[in-house]
Structure 1
Amino acid sequence: MHPLDANRLHLTRRSLFGKTALGIGGAALGTLLTREGLAVQAPDGAAPALPHFAPKAKRVIYLLQNGAPSHVDLFDHKPMLKKMHGTQIPDSVVAGKRFSTMTGGQTARPLLGEITHFSRHGQSGATVSDFLPHTGAMADELCFIKSMHTTQVNHAPAITFFMTGSEQAGRPAIGSWLSYGLGSDAEDLPAFVVMTSRDKEASCGQIFYDFYWGSGFLPSKYQGVKFRGSGDPVLYLSNPEGMSQAVKRTILDGIAGLNEMKLKDFGDPEIATRMAQYEMASKMQSSVPELTDFSDEPQHILDMYGPDVKRQGSYAYNCLMARRLAERGVRFVQLMHAGWDQHRNLNTQLKIQCTDTDAPSAALVKDLKQRGLLEDTLVIWGGEFGRTPFLQGKIEDTKQWGRDHHPYVFTAWMAGGGVKPGMTYGESDEFGFSVAKDGVHVHDLQATLMHLLGIDHERFTYRFQGRQFRLTDVHGSVVRQILA
């Protein structure tokens, strides 16, 4: 068959009209923009119109605590819980509220006093549990938001909501939006990196779904690159036996040439993605081994992150990796640590989780600050919701105390990147059940994150299936009171 005839078999009527229209329209638009002096060369992979204004942050490290930490045991001290311990929470407080199936039909809802002790820390006087001594010691660096609230009562949709702006899977993750909009400052590492870890006991971990860092309807080059917790962080970092660098370069150049031909024929963005990913994979063969070599880290830095820092796949290891990724220009680092889902083992598992995560989280903030990186790095710590102030189960069964999922109010903290340090924003009611003042919705947090990166969340959209989509959907307001 003649090559021209073979090519026609791949050319549908729709693609013919589509490519023709794009070609003519693109040429006309390019001419107009150039004539008016509006054409701008975008940075690597970035949208040309961004940022909308001067950013205060260049990058984000998101420490997502899967399973939902108990705000009333860790940050939001409520003396009323101890005073009314074991008594029924007033019906007027819970009326009409939805809970998970584990307590949705539970008629007895006795209040459970905090199982930890609280202390005030720093000049800000922030209340932090004694289970988190390292976090408490750096309270004056943090902005606590004690009025977070969401709409979901189950883990997967709630995490998906935080990471993508939608409760249903399929939308781009925050890191994908930022990679698409702002490009990358790293030449030999992905713009969006994901790492996961679990508690030592592995007793109540959540599933890590790929769509938590997926690119959705954006080209797949913007999806997160997951670093593995064992073995090579990324597969196939080493060349096969007998494959020299020169031979590999020749093969890659040949594949790139073939892909360029197909890209010209079909204009499929996934072909461009494939080409870019081949090149990035080649660069990572050199950059990732250096990235994961901690031999250049001073011993006092390793000690600050804790005894697990050299155990690949641990939360401490991932926190140090996050700092090393940030200083190399990675735009968005997403750490996800499972184990906070304490329905029946709060009085044993909560301490384990805090021990795993407290020192590394604090070390990350302190390490960024001493290197001059905290000023333009936004760090966020929080779960997908909180835990109920009432007990799941029976008050007499002291060995199996636990709390159910609670979306109506919970606590998160932020540091660096243009956020006011040493402050607490928002309040919950006397039971830690509902927002009492200055509520912050999931979309508000996302809008604020975007704003700190120089993006107007209402203007940053992507057209898909006939509609302009954005991370915050049609909601969200910037929480300006917490901006430095």
Structure 2
Amino acid sequence: MRAPNFDFWIEAKRMKLNRRDCLVQSTWTTGALAVTASALPASSAWANDSGVQTLVQHHPAKAKRVIFLFMHGGPSHVDTFDYKPMLIRDNGKDLPFELPPQISAKPTLLASPWKWSQHGEAGLWATDLLQEMNKHLDSLCVVRSMHTRGQSHGQAVGMVNTGSDNFVRPSVGAWISYALGAGHPDLPAHVAIAPATAHGGPRNYGAAFLPAKHQATVVGKNGQIGDGKIAYLDAAEGHQFDLVNQLNRGHVQSAGRDRATDGAIEAVDLANRMRGTAPEVMDLSKETDATKKLYGIGEKTTDSFGRSCLMARRLAESGVRFITVSSGQVWDQHGNLKNGHEKNAAKTDLPIAGLFADLKQRGLWEETLVVWGGEFGRTPVVQGSNGRDHNPQGFSMVLGGGGIRGGITYGETDDYGYYAVRDRVHMHDLHATMLHQLGVDHERLTYPYAGRDFRLTDVHGRVVEEILES
């Protein structure tokens, strides 16, 4: 029988940690973190000369990274990018077909309170709600035929972030991290900026059954970036990381190797390295005043979301593969649609347009896939006091950069904007397309778990080739 190694307990005693402290530390690292390179696909090459994990991709990539601008709550497509003349014409009349199940809205049609017009050389239709984004429509593709599962926020938020409306599954960012690894040896591959604590919370940026290192590093919460720092990273000291790894290595010596402990050791090593890299990357004070103004930083209304968008650009530029920027659950106007959507637009529109412009001027637009949208859209019929209910049956998402054709729309909803009826795009199709642009075949990116090979797109999904540059 192998003799136990007590070196790590001696070190713990030197640092005046009691047995409970040690067990808490050990449990956290071995239980919350998991598998490392041994679980990667056989085609991967782990650690090149620069220390960066790379993957032999399935086909040439058009994008190196994804920035997902998550408009949590569900912005209304019939008030932004899905022009419906008949909705305007029939305002106040009853919807000429039955409402879907579980809808509490009245069947009375509600035209958009915002003015519609065409924009750019391509002449794409949009309201004047998002005036700054409209200036970039020649570079954007509006998919007008999205549909998904989940009448409630929790279900639909799970679908857009993990591809599942009811089971705990790895997030999109976790799958991308698993496939491609980090683009910088001292930074994570996956970062969530200001994610929600509700509607699944950590599930929406978690790793589920994938190796736990692929879960997101989090900055801020609920649409607020806060101080813009990674929690606890600044306060941590090198000897604390050393002690935790001694505990983990002690576990390996006494109990043998296992994937969870290997993953914990690797994750703690990364956190230790991040102390010297992440603070500099995330330091927005290094940006010029002109750049800050571009994002609306310094202005009360746009400051927080502007800093989130600028941080996303800095992280993308530094090699992070998947970045979610969340607005917070603010786009959920069951009543008072006009005031609510205008308030949300005032906070997010300028920073998002600033991000687009900044990516373009830095030569990052072509290699960065940007996705804007919520978990679903809104009904074309009224609810409450001039509001709209949830609508997963048909809505819009906006894509740009990363090999996406600009200045086009794809698909259609019906005459009133309720159901996706032509060239329908499911959430699985969106995820398949995102992976495709990164050089990954969604049908070949699998992970063995519980007796079957799992995919982000489950057993569904097609690449929407029609919106891709040739």
1:193 is paired with a residue whose SS is strand
Counterpart Cα distance in 1 of 2:76 and 2:202: 26
**Corresponding residue for residue 261 of structure 2:** 271
Question: How far 1:445 sits from its partner (Å)?
Answer: 0.4
| Of 460, 466, 470, the match for 1:481 | 466
Q: What are the within-5 Å matches in structure 2 for residues 333-352 of structure 1?
A: 333-337=323-327, 338-352=329-343
- Describe the shift of the 1:254–1:478 C-alpha distance in structure 2 as closer, same or farther (beyond 3 A): same
Residue ranges of structure 2 left out of the alignment (5+ in a row):
7-37
CA contact (8 A) 2:281 2:314 kept: yes
Question: How far 1:329 sits from its partner (Å)?
Answer: 0.4
CA contact (8 A) 2:378 2:389 kept: yes
- Describe the shift of the 1:45–1:310 C-alpha distance in structure 2 as closer, same or farther (beyond 3 A): farther
Question: How far 1:285 sits from its partner (Å)?
Answer: 2.1
| Of 230, 237, 247, the match for 1:234 | 230
- Describe the shift of the 1:76–1:332 C-alpha distance in structure 2 as closer, same or farther (beyond 3 A): same
Question: Is the aligned partner of 1:133 residue 2:131?
Answer: yes
**Corresponding residue for residue 99 of structure 1:** 102
Question: How far 1:363 sits from its partner (Å)?
Answer: 1.0
Q: Deviations over 1:393-416 (max 9, x none)?
A: 3xxxxxx21000011111111111
- Describe the shift of the 1:206–1:170 C-alpha distance in structure 2 as closer, same or farther (beyond 3 A): closer
- Describe the shift of the 1:180–1:136 C-alpha distance in structure 2 as closer, same or farther (beyond 3 A): same
Q: Which amino acid aligns with 1:365?
A: F
| Of 59, 70, 73, the match for 1:67 | 73
Counterpart Cα distance in 2 of 1:401 and 1:178: 40
* Aligned length, in residue pairs: 427
CA contact (8 A) 1:197 1:315 kept: no
| Of 431, 434, 437, the match for 1:449 | 434
Q: Which amino acid aligns with 2:164?
A: S
Q: What are the within-5 Å matches in structure 2 for residues 247-266 of structure 1?
A: 248-249=237-238, 252-253=241-242, 255-260=244-249, 262-263=251-252, 265-266=255-256
Question: Is the aligned partner of 1:79 residue 2:85?
Answer: yes
| Of 205, 211, 214, the match for 2:203 | 211
Q: What are the within-5 Å matches in structure 2 for residues 82-481 of structure 1?
A: 82-91=88-97, 94=98, 97-100=100-103, 102-103=104-105, 108-196=106-194, 207=199, 209-228=201-220, 229-231=225-227, 233-239=229-235, 248-249=237-238, 252-253=241-242, 255-260=244-249, 262-263=251-252, 265-307=255-297, 314-337=304-327, 338-393=329-384, 400-481=385-466
- Describe the shift of the 1:310–1:227 C-alpha distance in structure 2 as closer, same or farther (beyond 3 A): farther
CA contact (8 A) 2:80 2:126 kept: yes
Q: Which amino acid aligns with 2:340?
A: Q
CA contact (8 A) 2:426 2:461 kept: yes
Rg: which structure is higher?
Answer: 1
2:194 is paired with a residue whose SS is strand
**Corresponding residue for residue 12 of structure 2:** none
- Describe the shift of the 1:62–1:273 C-alpha distance in structure 2 as closer, same or farther (beyond 3 A): same
- Describe the shift of the 1:39–1:183 C-alpha distance in structure 2 as closer, same or farther (beyond 3 A): closer
CA contact (8 A) 2:107 2:381 kept: yes
Counterpart Cα distance in 1 of 2:5 and 2:270: 35
Question: How far 1:115 sits from its partner (Å)?
Answer: 1.1
Counterpart Cα distance in 1 of 2:44 and 2:319: 26
Residue ranges of structure 1 left out of the alignment (5+ in a row):
7-25, 27-32, 199-204, 241-247, 394-399
| Worse overlay, 274-283 or 410-419 | 274-283
Counterpart Cα distance in 1 of 2:467 and 2:435: 14
CA contact (8 A) 2:295 2:355 kept: yes
1:277 is paired with a residue whose SS is helix
2:79 is paired with a residue whose SS is helix
Question: How far 1:131 sits from its partner (Å)?
Answer: 1.3
- Describe the shift of the 1:181–1:327 C-alpha distance in structure 2 as closer, same or farther (beyond 3 A): same
Counterpart Cα distance in 2 of 1:312 and 1:418: 29
CA contact (8 A) 1:311 1:317 kept: no
Q: What are the within-5 Å matches in structure 2 for residues 12-91 of structure 1?
A: 40-41=45-46, 50-91=56-97
CA contact (8 A) 2:157 2:199 kept: no
Question: How far 1:231 sits from its partner (Å)?
Answer: 3.9
Counterpart Cα distance in 2 of 1:346 and 1:267: 56
Counterpart Cα distance in 2 of 1:5 and 1:288: 34
CA contact (8 A) 1:99 1:406 kept: no
Counterpart Cα distance in 2 of 1:254 and 1:206: 34
Q: Deviations over 1:47-85 (max 9, x none)?
A: 75x411111111100011111000001111111112111
Q: Which amino acid aligns with 1:58?
A: K
State the identity %.
41
Counterpart Cα distance in 1 of 2:372 and 2:5: 58
| TM-score (ref. length: structure 1) | 0.82
Q: Which amino acid aligns with 1:80?
A: M
Counterpart Cα distance in 2 of 1:311 and 1:354: 10
Counterpart Cα distance in 2 of 1:311 and 1:197: 19
Q: Deviations over 1:235-261 (max 9, x none)?
A: 223347xxxxxxx54554454355345
Counterpart Cα distance in 1 of 2:459 and 2:53: 23
Counterpart Cα distance in 1 of 2:366 and 2:172: 21
RMSD: 2.7
- Describe the shift of the 1:329–1:2 C-alpha distance in structure 2 as closer, same or farther (beyond 3 A): closer
Counterpart Cα distance in 2 of 1:40 and 1:181: 11
Question: How far 1:161 sits from its partner (Å)?
Answer: 0.8
Counterpart Cα distance in 2 of 1:406 and 1:342: 12
Q: Which amino acid aligns with 1:54?
A: P
1:63 is paired with a residue whose SS is strand
CA contact (8 A) 1:67 1:206 kept: no
